[in-house]
Amino acid sequence: MQLGELRGVIALDGPSGTGKSTVARRLAVTLGAGYLDTGAMYRAVTLAVLRAGIATDDEQAVLTVAEHVDLRVSADAEHQDVLLGGENVGSEIRGQAVTLAVSAVSAVAQVRALLVARQMRIIDEVCQERGGIVVEGRDIGTVVAPDAALKVYLTASSDARARRRSLQDSASFDDTKRDVDRRDQLDSGRAASPLQPADDAVWLDTTNLDLQGVLDEILALVDERDLRGVAAGR
């Protein structure tokens, strides 16, 4: 991979519907940085669990699947391959079945420990090869990359998040709002790595911002911290 502008790690956390994925990808492309969608890894494991016909509340069986799954994710923001046993499942992991089950799978502490270790390795490898990486998820600033050079916690009103998700998924607002509220409760209430901002994260409310507005705010933080083209710690 070619060396990009960013030096170090940018951690983007926040609940569903805040624009995390779109912002993270565009930010990585803008800075020539690597990109990691940690949520895609949990979704891929969830898909493997569903394909195996395993109940998501059978924690030991879920862990066994996670331990043996052949999972590979690309760190390229422009070519987001998520491979499960060599099959690109990037579209399938965004389906309703996986969306309804992923919170239960990702709440299994041992599964999180397993995937966090893999995520840390990917971050280290990409930083060595490319100089920097943008990582998005729900526990990046607190668990996966606690020493990230910049931590941003994206937030928005639940109605705004539901509207965005309903347009993205071509679903009704009411159904999406219920799903958003359900995910919020599960993700923030789980015992292992609950969704919460890091103490040193910058809060950014995206309720009334478009994509470019969010990017401008984060890029200003990148420049304020002098993270382009200079050494920066994780």
Express each pLDDT in 187-199 by its tens digit: 666 666 667 889 9
Query: What would the 3-class secondary structure string for 169-223 be?
Result: HCCCHHHHHHHHHHHHHHHHHCCCCCCCCCCCCEEEECCCCCHHHHHHHHHHHHH
In whole angstroms, give the CA distance from residue 54 to residue 51.
Answer: 8
Using pLDDT thresholds of 50, 70 and 90, give the confidence band for residue 231: very low
Round to the nearest angstrom and report the end-to-end CA distance of the chain: 19
In whole angstroms, give the CA distance from residue 160 to residue 177.
Answer: 9
Express each pLDDT in 21-57 by its tens digit: 999 999 999 999 999 999 999 999 999 999 999 999 9
Q: Which domains does the chain have, with CATH numbers?
A: 8-224 (3.40.50.300)
Pairing of strands 150-155, 202-205: parallel
Q: Which of 68-82, 93-107, 130-144, 219-233 has the lowest mean pLDDT?
A: 219-233
Using pLDDT thresholds of 50, 70 and 90, give the confidence band for residue 146: very high
Average pLDDT, rounded, for the chain: 89
Query: Quick one: pLDDT at residue 189?
Result: 62
Q: Return the structure tokens found at 6.
A: 């960013």
Pairing of strands 34-37, 150-155: unpaired
pTM to 2 decimals?
Answer: 0.86
Closest listed residue to residue 13, CA positions, set 37, 30, 31: 37
